[in-house]
């Protein structure tokens, strides 16, 4: 009576790819309602927000990275991978205007990995812990049938009056972006191409020396700790914020949906590194599309009240790229050519692959 439970009890079969990651999460978590008085914000932002007593809220965020889906061991050094796995989680804590403090790291590992290889991975985790001043406080280690799985949970804190959600954008707010976009995606394209070339001709080692910027953005991204510090120093509290992990367009849709607003972006305001623009053209791709849909930049997308414009105008590495508009005006891109295109949330969907 217990065997073969994989036989579907339901007569309908909906494929996960039909819903996409966010549609799936919405559907699975809908029946859950928070009951704990300590839950300030549950599912649906970069991190959950808890009131565990004291002056600050506790922030909790978690991410899972799977070999073959999120990384390719052919071109990902283990130390870089460990570093990146931590950074992507910390980025979610910063996106709440918070400060990360602790992580747990769970690993699923196939017997392909030696202890020495795992020490390399942990050297990267340790470097990230030191760089961002967080403590490793626990985890789980288990075997896996296939490949490497890394699941990290990050905890942090934020002053109760400083927490920033995705839902706070108001019509007229200015849209700001830190750093530059598209480079991590183009670094990935570059390494994928070199991998194919190498597989075809293993005796030729690729020379990627002049593409250090793009490759570095993909393999060893940083979270914008410095920006959160700059906000505090300049008494700036964004009205909404999200980190750019899936691509600018997708993140802007999250802010729009949760704030009940629309937005326009000025194409000329979207920051890109010269190397990323060049590489996009080399791959015969539109640079702006790479910035809008590329993902993995781990920059911050945030909105500010227009009265705060002077607080960001003179901060380095922040770019004003558009404005929040009423929901009925939707999401548009104002191109450098003077046209208006509807934006699409083409964020990276690993269920489509």
The residues near 74 (Cβ < 8 Å, ≥ 6 apart) are 195, 198
How near is the Cβ of 5 to a copy of itself at its closest, in Å? Answer: 4
Closer to a copy of itself by Cβ: residue 183 or 321: 183
- Nearest in space to 304 (alpha carbons), one of 235, 232, 260, 238: 238
- Specify the pairing of strand 261-266 against strand 331-334: parallel
Choices 115-123, 170-178, 227-235, 275-283; region in contact with a copy of itself by CB under 8 A: 115-123
**Subset of residues 200 to 229 that bind a copy of itself, contact rule: CB under 8 A:** 205-209, 215, 219
CA-wise closest residue to 325 among 178, 169, 134? 169
Residue 157 host element (H or E): strand 148-159
Sheet containing strand 174-178, strands side by side: 240-244, 299-304, 174-178, 318-326, 261-266, 331-334, 340-342
Report if residue 141 touches a copy of itself, rule: CB under 8 A. Answer: yes
Contact between 48 and a copy of itself by CB under 8 A: the answer reads yes
Return the number of the residue (53 or 337) whose C-beta is nearest a copy of itself.
53
CB of 168 to a copy of itself, least distance (A): 19
Q: How far is the CB of 274 from a copy of itself (least distance, A)?
A: 22
Quick one: 225 or 311, whose CB is closer to a copy of itself? 225
Q: Does 337 bind a copy of itself (CB under 8 A)?
A: no
Which DSSP helix (H) or strand (E) runs through 190? helix 183-200
90, 126, 267, 304: which one binds a copy of itself (CB under 8 A): 126
Closer residue to a copy of itself (CB): 15 or 328:
15
Minimum CB separation of residue 34 from a copy of itself in Å reads 4
Distance of alpha carbon 339 from alpha carbon 146, whole angstroms: 48
Q: How many residues bind a copy of itself (CB under 8 A)?
A: 114
**Closest CB to a copy of itself among residues 80, 277:** 80
What b/e sequence results for 186-198 when a residue is b if at least 16 CB atoms lie within 10 Å of its CB, and e otherwise?
A: bbbbbbeebeeeb
Shortest distance, position 44 Cβ to a copy of itself, whole Å: 8
CA 242 to CA 47: how far, in whole Å? 10
Minimum distance from CB of 131 to a copy of itself (Å)?
12
Which position among 139, 170, 220, 232 is part of the footprint of a copy of itself (CB under 8 A)? Answer: 139
The distance of Cα 58 from the centroid of its chain, to the nearest Å, equals 20
The angle at the Cα of 139, spanning 138 to 144, to the nearest 5 degrees, equals 165
**At its nearest, how many Å lie between a copy of itself and the CB of residue 130?**
8
- Does 127 bind a copy of itself (CB under 8 A)? Our answer is no
List, as own/partner pairs, every contact residues 36-43 make where C-beta atoms lie below 8 angstroms and the sequence separation is at least 24, other chains included: 41/165
Does position 18 interact with a copy of itself (CB under 8 A)? The reply is yes
Minimum CB distance to a copy of itself smaller for 69 or for 309: 69
Q: Among residues 9, 201, 235, 284, which is the contact residue for a copy of itself, using CB under 8 A? A: 9
């Amino acid at each position: 009576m217990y065997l073969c439970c994989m036989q579907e009890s339901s007569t309908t079969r909906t494929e996960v790819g039909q819903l996409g990651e966010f549609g799936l999460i919405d559907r699975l978590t809908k029946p859950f309602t928070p009951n704990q008085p300590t839950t300030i914000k549950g599912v649906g932002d970069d991190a959950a927000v808890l009131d565990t007593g004291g002056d600050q809220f506790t922030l909790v965020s978690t991410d899972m990275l799977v070999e073959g889906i999120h990384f390719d061991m052919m071109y990902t050094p283990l130390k870089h991978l460990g570093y990146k796995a931590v950074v992507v989680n910390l980025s979610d804590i910063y996106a709440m205007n918070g400060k990360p403090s602790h992580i747990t790291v769970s690993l699923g590992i196939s017997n392909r990995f030696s202890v020495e290889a795992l020490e390399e991975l942990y050297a990267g985790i340790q470097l990230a812990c030191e760089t961002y001043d967080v403590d490793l406080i626990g985890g789980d280690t288990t075997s896996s049938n296939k490949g490497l799985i890394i699941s990290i949970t990050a905890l942090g804190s934020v002053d109760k009056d400083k927490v920033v959600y995705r839902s706070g954008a108001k019509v007229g707010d200015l849209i700001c972006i830190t750093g530059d976009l598209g480079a991590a995606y183009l670094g990935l394209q570059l390494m994928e191409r070199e991998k194919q070339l190498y597989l075809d001709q293993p005796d030729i080692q690729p020379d990627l020396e002049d593409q250090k910027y793009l490759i570095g953005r993909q393999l060893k991204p940083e979270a914008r700790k410095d920006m959160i510090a700059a906000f505090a120093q300049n008494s700036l509290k964004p009205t909404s914020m999200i980190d750019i992990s899936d691509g600018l367009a997708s993140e802007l849709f999250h802010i729009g949906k949760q704030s009940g607003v629309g937005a326009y972006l000025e194409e000329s305001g979207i920051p890109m590194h010269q190397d990323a623009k060049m590489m996009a053209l080399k791959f015969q791709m539109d640079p702006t599309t790479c910035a809008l849909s590329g993902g993995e930049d781990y920059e911050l997308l945030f909105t500010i009240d227009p009265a705060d414009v002077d607080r960001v105008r003179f901060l380095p590495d922040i770019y004003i790229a558009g404005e929040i508009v009423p929901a009925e005006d939707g999401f548009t891109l104002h191109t450098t050519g003077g046209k208006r295109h509807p934006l699409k949330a083409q964020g990276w969907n690993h269920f489509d692959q």
